[in-house]
Amino acid sequence: MGILQKRYNTGVMIIKGPTMHLYDVSIAPLIRNLHNLKHILQEGERYAEQKNVAPEVLLNTRLFVDMYPLTKQVQLVSDMSKGAGARLANLEIPQYEDNETSFEMLYARINKTLDFLTQIQPDQLEGAENKEIVLTIRKVDLTFSGLDYLEKWAMPNVYFHTTTAYNILRHLGVPLGKTDYLGQKR
C-alpha cells in the first residue's frame, strides 16, 4: 500500500492505497481523450456524408460568434496535450502548423500528437509533479508546480476544448452520446 498525497488550498489530504504515478493522471488520459476526439470527429464526418453536407460546414462551425470553430478546437486539444506531455517530461514541444482544412488533416494532427505522447515513458515524469512550469499568457507569467499545471491548466483546457468540439457537432445534429465522449471502457 502506498500513499497518494493530494494538495488542496487548505493543506494536504493523505489517501492510503496504491500509489498513483503522474503518468497515469496525465499521459494516459491525454492519449485516451485524443482517441475519443478522433472518434467524435469520425462520427461528424460520417454524418456530413450521410446528409450531403460539405465537411467545411462542420469544420468552420462555432457555437457562438466569439468562440473558435471546430477545427481550432481540435488544434487546441492537440496543442494542450503535446504541451503538457512535453513540459512534464522535459522535452521540446513539437510545433505544428495550424493549417488543417479537412477531417483527414485533423486526424493526421491527432495521430502525430498520439505518436508523440506514446513515446513518453512513465520514468520521464519522475519528480515532474514538483517541477516549476512557467507559462506566459498575454504577457503575464503563470507559475505552476507540475501537478498544479496538470490539474489547474492543462487537463481543464484539454477537456474544455474537447467538450466544445463535441458540442459543436452535437449542435449540428451529429448523433453523439456520452459514451462517444467518454470512450469505451478499456
pLDDT in tens, 20-71: 789 999 999 999 999 999 999 999 999 999 999 999 999 999 999 999 999 9
The mean of the pLDDT values for the chain is 91
pLDDT at 184: 78
Q: So where are the chain's domains?
A: 21-182
Rounded alpha-carbon distances, angstroms, from residue 130 to 111, 118, 123, 182: 29, 22, 15, 29
Q: Distance (Å, rounded) from C-alpha 107 to C-alpha 111?
A: 6
pLDDT at 11: 53
pTM > 0.85:
yes
Q: Has residue 10 got a pLDDT over 80?
A: no
Q: Which of 162, 144, 165, 164 is nearest to 153 (CA)?
A: 144
Match 492537440 to its residue by C-alpha cell.
Answer: 78
Burial tier of 160 (Cβ tally within 10 Å: 0-12, 13-18, 19+): middle
- Are the C-beta atoms of residues 101 and 132 closer than 8 Å to each other? no
What superfamily would CATH give domain 21-182?
dinb family like domain (1.20.120.450)
CA atoms within 13 A of residue 98's CA, in its CB half-sphere: 12
First to last CA, the chain: 24
pLDDT in tens, 78-103: 999 999 999 999 999 999 999 999 99
